[in-house]
Amino acid sequence: MRNTIVCMLLLTMAMACGPGRKPDDAEPPVAPRHEKQLVIHGDTRIDHYYWMNDRENPDVIAYLEAENDYLETQLAHTRELQECLYEEMKGRIKQDDQSAPYYENGYYYYIRYEEGKEYPVYCRKPGSLEAGEEVMLDVNELASPHPYYRVGRVDISLDNRWMAFSVDTVGRRQYTIMVKDLATGKVSPTGISHAGGDVVWAADNNTFFYTSIDPETLRYYQIYRYNFFDGEGPELVYEEEDHTFYYLGVSRTKDNRYLMITANATLSNEIWLLEADRPQGDFRVFHPRLRDMRYRVWSYNGKFYILTNHEAENFRLMEATEGQTGIRHWQEVIPHRGDVLLENVELFDDYLVVQERERALPRMRIINMVTGDSHHLPFEEEAYTAYIGINAELSTPVLRFNYTSLTTPMTTYDYHMETGELSLVKQQEVVGDFSPDDYETRRYYVKARDGVAVPLTIVHRKGVDRDGTNPLLLYGYGSYGSSANPRFNANALSLLDRGFIYGIAHVRGGQDMGRQWYEDGKLLNKMNTFNDFIDCAEFLVEENYTGPEHLFASGGSAGGLLMGVVVNERPDLFKGVVASVPFVDVVTTMLDESIPLTTAEYDEWGNPNDPEYYRYMLSYSPYDNVRRQDYPNMLVTSGLHDSQVQYWEPTKWVARLRAHHTGDARILLYTNMEAGHSGASGRFRRLREQARVFAFILDLADKH
Residue spans per domain, the chain: 101-145, 149-293, 337-432, 441-701
3-state secondary structure of 690: helix
At residue 591, the pLDDT reads: 95
Percent of the chain beyond pLDDT 90?
A: 84
Architecture per CATH, domain 441-701, reads as 3-Layer(aba) Sandwich (3.40)
pLDDT at 450 over 90: yes
Q: Which CATH class is domain 149-293?
A: mainly beta
Task: pLDDT band for 14, please (50, 70, 90 cuts).
Answer: very low
pLDDT at 8 over 70: no
pLDDT digits (tens, 9 = 90+) for 141-153: 998 888 888 899 9
Task: Say which DSSP state 574 is in.
Answer: -
Range 348-360 average pLDDT: 97
Listed in sequence order, the residues at least 6 apart from 177 whose beta carbon sits closer than 8 Å to its beta carbon are 164, 165, 166, 167, 190, 192, 195, 199, 210
**Burial of residue 591 (number of CB atoms within 10 Å: 0-12, 13-18, 19+):** middle
Catalytic residue among 157, 299, 554, 557: 557
Q: Which of 506, 680, 533 is nearest to 620 (CA)?
A: 533
In one letter, which amino acid is 581?
V
* Residue-wise DSSP of 114-154: -TT-SS-EEEEEESSTTSPPEEEEEHHHHHTT-SS-EEEEE
pLDDT at 22 over 70: no
Q: What is the mean pLDDT of the chain?
A: 93
Range 458-467 average pLDDT: 96
At residue 199, the pLDDT reads: 95
User: Which residues on adjacent β-strands are paired with residue 181?
Assistant: 162
pLDDT at 3 over 80: no
Cα 699 to Cα 18, 28, 316, 460, distances in angstroms: 14, 19, 49, 19
Task: pLDDT band for 594, please (50, 70, 90 cuts).
Answer: confident
pLDDT at 10 over 70: no
Q: How far apart are the first and last CA of the chain?
A: 19
Other CB atoms within 10 Å distance of the CB of residue 371: 8
Q: How far apart are CA 433 and CA 331, in angstroms?
A: 54
Q: How far apart are CA 47 and CA 32, in angstroms?
A: 12
Look at 424-433, 560-569, 641-650 and tell me which has the smallest mean pLDDT.
641-650
Say whether 557 is catalytic. yes
Other CB atoms within 10 Å distance of the CB of residue 353: 20
pLDDT digits (tens, 9 = 90+) for 170-188: 877 888 999 999 999 999 9
At residue 195, the pLDDT reads: 86
Range 240-259 average pLDDT: 94
At residue 23, the pLDDT reads: 63
Look at 28-42, 213-227, 375-389, 602-616 and tell me which has the smallest mean pLDDT.
213-227
Buried b (16+ CB within 10 A) or exposed e, 63-84: bbeebbebbeebbbbbbbbbbb
pLDDT at 296 over 50: yes
Catalytic residue among 414, 520, 585, 642: 642
At residue 620, the pLDDT reads: 98
At residue 25, the pLDDT reads: 74
pLDDT digits (tens, 9 = 90+) for 97-128: 999 999 999 999 999 999 999 899 999 999 99
Say whether 603 is catalytic. no
Which stretches of 329-377 are DSSP H helices? none
Q: How far apart are CA 439 and CA 360, in angstroms?
A: 21
Range 631-653 average pLDDT: 92
Catalytic residue among 677, 678, 681, 699: 677
At residue 6, the pLDDT reads: 35
Q: How far apart are CA 547 and CA 569, in angstroms?
A: 17
Q: Which of 471, 636, 634, 435 is nearest to 547 (CA)?
A: 471
Q: How far apart are CA 310 and CA 298, in angstroms?
A: 17
Percent of the chain beyond pLDDT 70?
A: 96
pLDDT at 5 over 70: no
pLDDT at 76 over 90: yes
Look at 1-15, 495-509, 535-549, 603-617 and tell me which has the smallest mean pLDDT.
1-15
Range 26-51 average pLDDT: 96
pLDDT at 683 over 90: no
At residue 17, the pLDDT reads: 32
Vertex 238, ends 234 and 241: CA angle to 5°? 125
pLDDT at 344 over 60: yes
3-state secondary structure of 446: strand
Q: Which of 253, 329, 250, 254 is nearest to 287 (CA)?
A: 329
Say whether 677 is catalytic. yes
